[in-house]
Structure 1
Amino acid sequence: MFSWILALLLALVVWSLATAYFWLVKRRRKEVKLGLNALAGMHWRDFSEIVKRAMREQRGLVDVHDEDEDHREPRSDFLMEDPQHKRWLLACKHGLAYRIGPAAVNELGTAARLAGAKGGILITEGQVQRDGRAAAEKQGVEVLDGQLLWPMLIPYLPGDMESAVKKAARREAVRRISIAALGSLTLGLLVGMSYLTTRVDKTPAAPAPTQASAPAAAAPAATAPAASPVTAAPASAPPTAAAATPAPAAQPPGPPAPGSILGTDGDPDAATLAQYRRELAQNVGKQTGVLSAFWQTSQTLAVNRSEEIDAVWPLICTEVKRYPALRTVRVQLNPRPGTEEPVRWRQCATS
C-alpha cells in the first residue's frame, strides 16, 4: 500500500511541475511566437500605423509633419516628437526574417543625428543580434523586437487576431499538460511496480526450508546404528537409498537452455510460473534496444525501450514464445525517453 501512495504522490508532484511549466512558461512563449507570426502577416502600412498609435498613446509621441512627405515614396521610417519637444526617429523593420546586426543599427543612429533627433527606436518582429544590441547602446538606439514588441501592440490589434492567437496558445498548453498527465501516471506506475518487484526479490524462496530440513530428518536415522552395530549395516542401506532418491526432485528448475521450449508438459504450478515470469523479464531486459522489463500485472509485461518498436518486437516475441505458459501475455511497450510516443500494447500469440 505504501508503494502505491508513494507512486501517487510522485505522479502528482511531477504533473504539477509540468503543468506550471507548460502553462506559465511554454504557453506565453507560444503566444508570443504566434503573435509575431500574425503581426508579420499584416500589410506593412497597417503594421506601421499600429506602431505609431502605440507610441502616441503609451509614450506621448506625436508625428512631426514633413513638408516633403507627400512627394516621397512610402517609407517605414517616421520622425516623432515627445512632450519635451525631443525628436525620435522610428524605423519599422517589418518581417520575421530580419536578423539585424550592427550595420543597420549604425545606419539608423546616423540617420537620427542627421534628422536632428535625440535617438532612434528600432522596431521589428525579427531579432536584433548581440553585436547589434551592443551597437544600439553606443548609438542611443532603443530596440523593440519580438519579446517586447508583442505585449506592447496587443491592445491595438484587431479583436479576432488577439483572440485567435491566445486560443491557439491555450490549446497547445492543454495538449502538453494532458500528455504530461499520462507521462506522470506512467512514471508513478513504474515506480510502484519497481518497489514491489524489489520487495519480492528480497523475499526468501519457499523451497529453501524444505532442502534445509532434509539433513535434519536424516540425523535420527544416522544415530540408530550406534546402539547395534551388527544390525545397523543391513538396516541402514534402505534409508540411504531412500534419502538419495528424492534429491533430484528437490532441485529447483534451472534456467532454460538457449532455443529450448518450456512448459510443454502442461500448465506449471504457481511457483514455477512465478519463476518463468522472473526469467522472462530478465531475458527480455537483456535484448538489444530494451532498457528494462518488469511485470506490471500477472498478465502484462512492461518494456522500456530505446529503439523503434519494429526493431525490438521480434526479439521480445522470441523470448516470450520460449515459455508456452506465458505466450498470451500482453506486452506494454512504453515510449522512448525524450519522445511523445504513445504507449503501445501487443501480444505475441492470442491462444
Structure 2
Amino acid sequence: MSGILLPIVVFLLIGGLASAWLLGVRLRREQQATGIMALAGMHWREFQRLVLEVMARRGYRQTGSTDMSDDHGLIELEHGGRMSLLSTKHGTAYVLGPATIAEFASDLQLRGATGGWMTTLGSVAADTRSLARVQKIELLDGQTLWKEIEPQLDPAQRAEIMGAVRARANRHVMLVWVLAGVAGIAIFLLSGRDAPAPAASQQAATPAATPAAPPRQPASTAAPPMTAPVPEDPAALASRRRKVADAVATLPWVDRAVWSTRSTLVVHLAGAPDRAGLCALLEPYAELRASRLQLQPPRDSDTPVRFIQCHAY
C-alpha cells in the first residue's frame, strides 16, 4: 500500500496545482491578452467610441465637433465646466514614452486644458507615469482599458472571446493531468525497481565475474530539426502561428506571447530571456523563423523594449 501512496500524491499534487494556476492566473492573463488583440482588430473609430464610453461613465462628455477627433487626433472633453483632452493610440505595439508625454502636455497648455488622458492598447515605458502625473495626465494602457471596456462589449462578442480562451485552457488542463499521470506511473515503476533484494539471497549469492562491457558505439550526429512544409491554407497558417505563440508562452521566463501583426510576435517577459530557446521554437516553421520578436519587459522594469530576429528575410 505504501508503494502506491507516493505516486498518487505526486499525481494529485502536480495535476491540482497546475490546474489551479491554469484556470486562475493563466486564464485571466489569456482572457486579457485575447481581449486586447480583439480591440486591436477593431476599426480605430470603433475603438475610440468604446474609450469615449469609458470616459462617459467617469462623468466626461465630448464637446465640439461630432467627429471622433480633430486633425491632431485629440478629443475635447468637458466635466464640471473644465475642458480636458483625450488621446487614443490604436495598436498593441505602441509604447507611451517621455517624448509622447511632453508633446501631449504642450497640447494641453496651448488649448488651456486642465488635464488629459492618453490611452493605448500597448504599454507604458518605465518611469513615464510619474512624469505624466506632474503634467496632470492619466495613462491608460491595454490592461487597464480592457478591464473597463470588457463590460461594454456585445455579449455575443465577449462570449466568443472568452469561449475560445476557456476551450484552450481546458485542453491545457487535460494535458497537465495526462503528464501528472505519466509522472505518477514513472515514480511507481522506479520505486519497484529500486526495492532492495532480500538479505538471505544476497548472502547466498556467490561472486561472479563481472561481464565485460559491450564496446561503446560512436555517438551519432544529432539530426537537424525538421522543417514543416508551409501550407497554403490561411487557416492552417493561422493555426501554426497560434501554436508558436502557445509554445513560447510555456517558456519559464515568458509571461505571455501574442502576435501584434502577422510578422511581429510580442513576447511579454517575466525574467531574463533565452534567445536560443526562443529561436528554437520558431526554427521548424519556414514562414515564421524570420519574424520580428518584440521582447516586452515587465511593467515595473527599467529594461527597454528590444527587437530581435532569429533569421534574416
Interval of TM-score (by shorter of Structure 1 and Structure 2)? 0.5 to 0.7
Question: What residue in structure 2 maps to residue 121 of structure 1?
Answer: 117
Size of the aligned set, in residue pairs, is 226
1:206 corresponds to which of 201, 204, 209: 201
State the distance in 2 between where 1:135 and 1:288 align. Answer: 60
Amino acid across the alignment from 2:76: L
Whether the aligned pair in 2 keeps the contact of 1:48 and 1:76 (CA below 8 Å) is no
State the distance in 2 between where 1:156 and 1:210 align. Answer: 79
1:130 partner SS: coil
Q: CA deviation at 1:2?
A: 1.0
Question: What residue in structure 2 maps to residue 258 of structure 1?
Answer: 214
Instruction: State the TM-score, normalized to the length of structure 2.
Output: 0.64
1:90 partner SS: strand
Amino acid across the alignment from 2:85: L
Question: What residue in structure 1 maps to residue 77 of structure 2?
Answer: 80
Which digits, 9 at most, give the CA deviation of each residue in 1:295-334, with x for residues without a partner?
A: xxxxxxxxxxxx98x79xxxxxxxxxxxxxxxxxxxxxxx
State the distance in 1 between where 2:198 and 2:105 align. Answer: 78
2:176 partner SS: helix
Whether the aligned pair in 1 keeps the contact of 2:36 and 2:143 (CA below 8 Å) is no
Q: CA deviation at 1:4?
A: 1.2
Amino acid across the alignment from 2:132: A
RMSD, matched Cα = 3.1
State the distance in 2 between where 1:118 and 1:194 align. Answer: 71
Question: What residue in structure 1 maps to residue 54 of structure 2?
Answer: 54
Q: CA deviation at 1:209?
A: 2.3
Instruction: State the TM-score, normalized to the length of structure 1.
Output: 0.57
Unaligned runs of at least 5 residues, structure 1:
212-250, 260-282, 290-306, 312-336, 340-351
State the distance in 1 between where 2:111 and 2:137 align. Answer: 14
Q: CA deviation at 1:85?
A: 2.8
Whether the aligned pair in 2 keeps the contact of 1:7 and 1:188 (CA below 8 Å) is yes
Between 1 and 2, higher relative CO (CA 8 Å, sep ≥ 6) is seen in: 2
- 2:9 corresponds to 1:12: no
State the identity %. 29
2:167 partner SS: helix
Q: CA deviation at 1:59?
A: 0.6
State the distance in 1 between where 2:83 and 2:199 align. Answer: 86
CA radius of gyration, larger in:
1
State the distance in 2 between where 1:209 and 1:3 align. Answer: 27
Q: CA deviation at 1:114?
A: 2.5
Which digits, 9 at most, give the CA deviation of each residue in 1:44-66, with x for residues without a partner?
A: 1111111111211x211111225
Q: CA deviation at 1:23?
A: 0.9
Question: What residue in structure 2 maps to residue 185 of structure 1?
Answer: 181
**Superposed counterparts of 1:327-338, under 5 Å:** none
State the distance in 2 between where 1:54 and 1:85 align. Answer: 19
Question: What residue in structure 2 maps to residue 236 of structure 1?
Answer: none
Amino acid across the alignment from 2:201: A
Unaligned runs of at least 5 residues, structure 2:
225-250, 253-276, 278-313
User: Normalized per residue, which structure has more helix?
Assistant: 1
Amino acid across the alignment from 1:77: L
1:52 partner SS: helix
State the distance in 2 between where 1:52 and 1:73 align. Answer: 14
Which 10-residue stretch deviates more, 159-168 or 173-182?
Answer: 159-168
